[in-house]
Chains A and B, each alone.
Chain A
Amino acid sequence: MAELNTDGGGGGKGGKVRSKKQNSKVDLTAMVDLAFLLITFFMLTTTLSKPQSMSLGLPDKEDDPNKNVDIKVDENRTMTLLLGADNKLIRYVGLLATPVAGGAPKDFSYGKDGIRKELIARNKMVLEYSAAKGKPKDGIIVIIKPSKKSTYKNVVDILDEMAIVGVGVSGSYAIVNDFTPEETKLLDGK
């Protein structure tokens, strides 16, 4: 301990003034408090300042249209999400002209009470449907169509839903930028 010998020179004889024994102990409590506060601050800021990221893989873009091979998918497994202006979200299941039962175009909200419930329910239905057909590994296929007026936040929100529901595990999802005239009408109307 940092203690100085404040004893005045030992056994001096008479005439010497005895210096008073002073306590040289310093109270370190406040200093330790401060040090730990700063440690906490630096610990938290170093780990929190690292931004999180979400990885997104897009399919290879092929400029030559002849090389694009169309793959036919079962329309019972597809669900299309149209993202519009002002956080508008429309989903339909199957084909737009002939949607499957209960899959007609309908508005949904973002978040756990909106589209997530629908996604979980549909994902389950598709897995049951595929199991009945003898291909239990075929999950839902979600087609995300962000319109020109949708924001980046909408896209990230939907990609986040895909991660939460686990669409990428059993099925797949894709961002598609082509809109059919009917779909544009659907987003603009109502």
Chain B
Amino acid sequence: MAKIKMKKKSTSTDMTAMCDVAFLLLTFFILTATAKIPEALPVDTPSSTVQTKMPETDLATLTVGKGKVFFDLKGREVRVRTLELMGEKYGVTFTDEDKKMFSLMEGFGVPISNLKQIIEMKSADRSKAGQPGVPMDSLDNQLKEWIYNARIANIEVNDKELQIAIKGDAKEEYPAIRKVMDICQDQKINSFSLVTGLRSKDF
């Protein structure tokens, strides 16, 4: 009897095209992803259900935690200009190298007299340096000057008003946050973005 021979089908599919697409997407996501910069002052933000994304540019972030305030600013050119203005105000000169480093570094929390040391450190050492926070008492209110000069710099560079985001620690007492808000309100900044995590409505 003639046996009907089943044609042997290959079970393996051609993966090349799939592989191509997968790696193309992978390359895209790797290139668009922004590397997470280690925070100078790690804070545990409270959660909320509101889902408003933070602006990517024209933003100054004030991190409040453990009674200290750290200042961070988005945009390299804005940072350089802010540093120049602050240098003029407090009589500290920064070299071009300092400015470049400052434009790339993360938030900081030191008086301006110590800023040069922080700039010269390696980024791994900065988080260990034990930065005391930007001074903001009534005698030496450098935080106010930083915000003020950052606003000027942002208008000069981007021609837009600077947004203020407050990133507070969940356990921070309210007066500390209020003090920061008061400093902003003295400059007629009345709208803030409070940085929060995300949660569902059933809490």
**Given contact pairs A53-B196, A54-B48, A149-B173, a sample of 18 additional A-B residue pairs in the complex whose CB atoms are under 8 Å apart:** A28-B19, A32-B15, A32-B19, A32-B22, A42-B26, A46-B32, A49-B36, A50-B53, A51-B197, A56-B194, A58-B192, A111-B203, A150-B174, A152-B46, A152-B174, A152-B177, A153-B46, A156-B47
Taking the closest CB of chain B, its distance from the CB of A188, in whole angstroms, is: 16
Does B91 make an interface contact (CB < 8 A)? no
Please indicate the chain B residues that have their CB under 8 angstroms from the CB of A157 in the complex. Answer: 46, 48
Q: Which of A14-22, A126-134, A158-166 contacts the other chain?
A: A158-166
* Listed residue (B48, B170, B177) with the most chain A CB atoms within 10 angstroms of its CB: B48
Does B107 make an interface contact (CB < 8 A)? no
Taking the closest CB of chain B, its distance from the CB of A24, in whole angstroms, is: 13
B48-A160 in contact (CB<8A): yes
Binding site for B on A (CB under 8 A): 1-2, 25, 27-29, 31-32, 35-36, 38-39, 42-43, 45-46, 49-61, 83, 111-112, 146-157, 159-160, 163-164, 177
Which residues 162-200 of B have a CB within 8 angstroms of A? Answer: 165, 167-178, 181-182, 185-186, 188, 190-198
B12-A25 in contact (CB<8A): yes
A38-B54 in contact (CB<8A): no
Please indicate the chain B residues that have their CB under 8 angstroms from the CB of A147 in the complex. Answer: 174
Does B125 make an interface contact (CB < 8 A)? no
Contact A151:B173 (CB < 8 A) given known A45-B33, A53-B195: yes
By secondary structure, the A interface counts as mixed
A35-B174 in contact (CB<8A): no
Contact A61:B186 (CB < 8 A) given known A42-B26, A52-B54: yes
Does B114 make an interface contact (CB < 8 A)? no
B49-A164 in contact (CB<8A): yes
Cα-based distance from A154 to B174 in the complex (angstroms): 9
* Listed residue (B29, B53, B169) with the most chain A CB atoms within 10 angstroms of its CB: B29
By secondary structure, the B interface counts as mixed
Does B30 make an interface contact (CB < 8 A)? yes
* Listed residue (B12, B23, B36, B185) with the most chain A CB atoms within 10 angstroms of its CB: B23
Taking the closest CB of chain A, its distance from the CB of B29, in whole angstroms, is: 3
B185-A58 in contact (CB<8A): yes
Interface flags, B151-166, vs A, CB<8A=1, else 0: 0000000000000010
Partner of B48, one of A148, A154, A156: A156
Q: Which residue of B lies closest to A63 (CB)?
A: B186
Which residues 21-78 of B have a CB within 8 angstroms of A? Answer: 22-23, 25-26, 29-30, 32-34, 36, 45-54, 64
20 contacts between A and B (CB under 8 A): A2-B16, A27-B12, A32-B19, A35-B22, A35-B26, A36-B22, A42-B26, A46-B29, A49-B36, A52-B198, A55-B191, A56-B194, A83-B174, A150-B174, A151-B171, A151-B174, A156-B170, A156-B194, A160-B48, A164-B49
